[in-house]
Structure 1
Amino acid sequence: MAGNAAALRARLATGRILTIPGCYDAMSAKLVEQAGFDAAYVSGYAVSATQIGLPDAGLLSYKEILDQARDIAGAVSIPLIGDADTGFGNPVNVRRTVKGFADAGIACIMLEDQVFPKRCGFAKGVEVVPRGEALTRLQAALDMRDEIRAEGGDVLILARTDSRVAEGLEEALWRCEAFADRGADIVYFEGPQSRGEMEALCSRVQAPKLLAQLEREGRPLLSPKEAEAIGYDCLLFGVTLLNVSIRAMRDALALMAQGNHPGPDRLLSFDELYETVGFDWYYEQEERYRGE
């Protein structure tokens, strides 16, 4: 949606840090919106886990992630950042991916420089394509972005590099700078190992920058204020909601397996559950269209 892309661009221009929770289905996205966040991220990691029960290792197809993104976009009005992996093929595939995601209602498309098939950035065996191929891939996405804008639509491109783990800090910084110079709307490198590496990126690259946060031992976990002070524009919590939902379900199931019940302190009231899934809205619509 052109309006959501414009809203995201305007939000970035405020200079205030944008905190972005990751979602994986329509309900999780609606909860993000209801909590007052200005944007959400359609996480490939979380979609893969919840839709096919498998890890984020390039197993989801373009069609599978696109269909889920479309359903999520139809459920909320806030801008969505969509995880498009490597673009699902060569530069022609990248163009098709950008167009498909934009048509599905995604405001910003994340494109990375891993080899295909990709894997999540903190998995074993991450590899990136050579610099030239990475820039060509990005250029294909930017060309389609510009064509969409010329036709009255709008979409942003978030250029990501996974070269920090694969090839080192200097390569990650070089790629982020090159991505920004090419015209990427937002850039980020996966897996900074320290605050100093974060500061190096923010001092070297002038385009809007995203920091992905991961609740993992040994990884720095910054508050929005801390990230903003370093120079970041976006703070992403890509798998936090997936993590807490799995934990909550496991805890409830463990109690049930022992013949117990999770109890009211772990549950919404029935009325709150009823309202959250949308029955109150449905009855309002039903009454509106009731025959004379």
Structure 2
Amino acid sequence: MNWTDRRKRFRSVLAGERCVHPGSVYDAISARIAEDLGFEIGMFAGSVASMTVLGAPDLIVLTLSEFAGQAYRINRAGNLPLMVDADHGYGNALSVKRTVEELETAGVGGMSIEDTELPQPFGAAKPRLIPVAEGVGKMKAALAGRQDPALCIAGRTSAIQISGLEDAIARGKAYEAVGVDALFFVGIKSRAELDAISAATRLPLILGGVSGELTDLDYLSARRVRIALQGHQPFAAAVKAVHDTLKALREGTAPSKLTGIADAELMKRVTREADYTAWTKDFLS
């Protein structure tokens, strides 16, 4: 696997002039579908990982090895540059360094490390942030853990919805000064907020969960946003499809009467049957 080539393609998105929406992926076949459909990059979120691997909500009960293992399965399935949400790095700054090492080995193109206090501390009624100095230490550790200089590290903060715009800008500038490759902001709700952040920083921006007036790609591109997440509907759609299909079968619907089923040609394409047929002929004939 040529991981560096994928990372260079990931970097080309950050260095470009246009904002793109990543394809939200969670396993080998979803990554292949996103690649076949022309998505520039894939996005594997911590929340989706928790649901995919454990069937659990996004409470940071997933382990680093479980997350890295699923990221590797996604990466080995094709050539889609993959960004991952590495949450808080699974511990303190030393854990962050280890997280970067493991995810780089798993082949990711870029990852974000955030400054939310995770997992939820005892007695905490709402999300809290770690001190800026601790966040800076985590970003330094992330950069120190990187072996391939093409790997992208994004400093992520949800400060705007926890402590306000001023703190979000301060944290972005602090992580920028450390040397991260991009800034990832979650919770921006208005153009005024994004305008202020864009004016105060200089790195490529990544936004989580944009909606409303922040969905205009021309506007986002002009504000140096290069990646804008749209959510993780593909996984939710897959859950709905499996639920409805199993329910119909349980209630007596004949398999031939089911709707919404992938046809044979689609199944052959996403499983790369043509490749396996050729390999069978070459190696087993």
TM-score by length of 1: 0.87
Partner of 1:139: 140
Alignment-mate amino acid for residue 133 of structure 1: E
Partner of 2:221: 228
Task: Call closer, same or farther: CA 1:41–1:53 in 2, change over 3 Å.
Answer: same
Distance 2:251 2:284 in 1: 47
Whether 1:162 and 2:171 are equivalent positions in the alignment is no
Q: Deviations over 1:196-239 (max 9, x none)?
A: 21222222211000111267xxx666143342244311112341
Partner of 1:7: 9
Distance 2:143 2:278 in 1: 43
- The percentage of counterpart residues that share the same residue type is 27
Task: Call closer, same or farther: CA 1:257–1:225 in 2, change over 3 Å.
Answer: farther
Residues 196-215 of structure 1: pairs in structure 2 closer than 5 A? 196-213=192-209
Distance 1:253 1:52 in 2: 20
Alignment-mate amino acid for residue 282 of structure 2: R
Residues 232-247 of structure 1: pairs in structure 2 closer than 5 A? 232-247=225-240
Distance 2:32 2:180 in 1: 28
TM-score by length of 2: 0.89
Distance 1:270 1:10 in 2: 36
1:65 to 67, 77, 81: 67
Distance 1:34 1:10 in 2: 19
- Contiguous gaps of at least 5 residues in structure 2: none
User: Offset of 1:54 from its aligned partner?
Assistant: 0.4
RMSD of aligned Cα (Å): 2.3
Whether 1:288 and 2:265 are equivalent positions in the alignment is no
User: Offset of 1:131 from its aligned partner?
Assistant: 0.9
Q: Deviations over 1:43-62 (max 9, x none)?
A: 11111112111011110001
Partner of 1:108: 110
Distance 1:132 1:93 in 2: 16
User: Offset of 1:270 from its aligned partner?
Assistant: 2.4
Task: Call closer, same or farther: CA 1:249–1:209 in 2, change over 3 Å.
Answer: same
Distance 1:247 1:197 in 2: 35
Distance 1:271 1:226 in 2: 39
Q: Deviations over 1:141-162 (max 9, x none)?
A: 12223xx14xxx5311011002
User: Offset of 1:290 from its aligned partner?
Assistant: 3.1
1:266 to 227, 238, 260: 260
User: Offset of 1:63 from its aligned partner?
Assistant: 0.6
Contact 2:50/2:62, CA 8 A, preserved across alignment: yes
Contact 2:154/2:183, CA 8 A, preserved across alignment: yes
Residues 6-85 of structure 1: pairs in structure 2 closer than 5 A? 6-85=8-87
User: Offset of 1:21 from its aligned partner?
Assistant: 1.8
1:188 to 184, 187, 208: 184
Q: Secondary structure at the match of 1:78?
A: coil
